[in-house]
Chain A
């Protein structure tokens, strides 16, 4: 039943996304990096946001995409604070190799 509802929604969206000023989910996908980098023009941003208003799959997808990025950022902050110790053995090896 859920699969059937999903499939009907996709058919309706397929028609909706062909209207002027609309984009498909596949085109929306191509805009994501530029959107997050703040590189979309005003018109592109309007079209991108319009798609988000009507497509709950892309809305959920973008939210999870941003949460995944936040997981990477949190991990990155943590490993950077762990990188404070200079590996003395390696420093000595590099300085010794330079003199050869």
Chain B
């Protein structure tokens, strides 16, 4: 599957709601192993862009995963092509156990006979994933009883267990403690090495610690793109975050972006 490196390529993507252009001609390419952060002020179109990639929002332009065009496919078909996402509010299946959550995530390709039978032994992939996201001790707990951070890890686990090749994570560390953020960042680093990962995030400290590259969205378009340092020194970025371009650069702008 990953003989050649995967990549996600958006060209001139546009999303319109009742005449309002939420995403207005975004083009960007994310390569496998490049932990990409997508930042921007509220209303910049970050989540809408994720919605467009995953088939939730109707979009124009082109969104390709490798050679496969994603636009125009139904959400569950896009998911089956290996594109996975999480949501701002952790949306695990609260009434089901951690194990059941992962088992559902792992099984979109199961046939009717398997579906109509009870689960026998725990599939090996699920045990590995539990280990990876650190929830082995919690496998039989209802997901609703997990802490906020654990729910986010479970969500990421639900993408790993079905070996999603593209991970689109919408504010994965929102509401997490400092320690949980660090763990999440390290987890993303590890799983992102052989996957294509896009993280939508507001937390600038988190971004600085873990981003390989950053795309800044503003008013539905790409404002700036590059390494963390490049983006932070871009006057246009400073202007968007501060309202005006500061005259004396480094310290102020750093504060502004943070």
Asked if A and B bind, the verdict is no
Partner-A contacts on B (CB < 8 A): none
Partner-B contacts on A (CB < 8 A): none
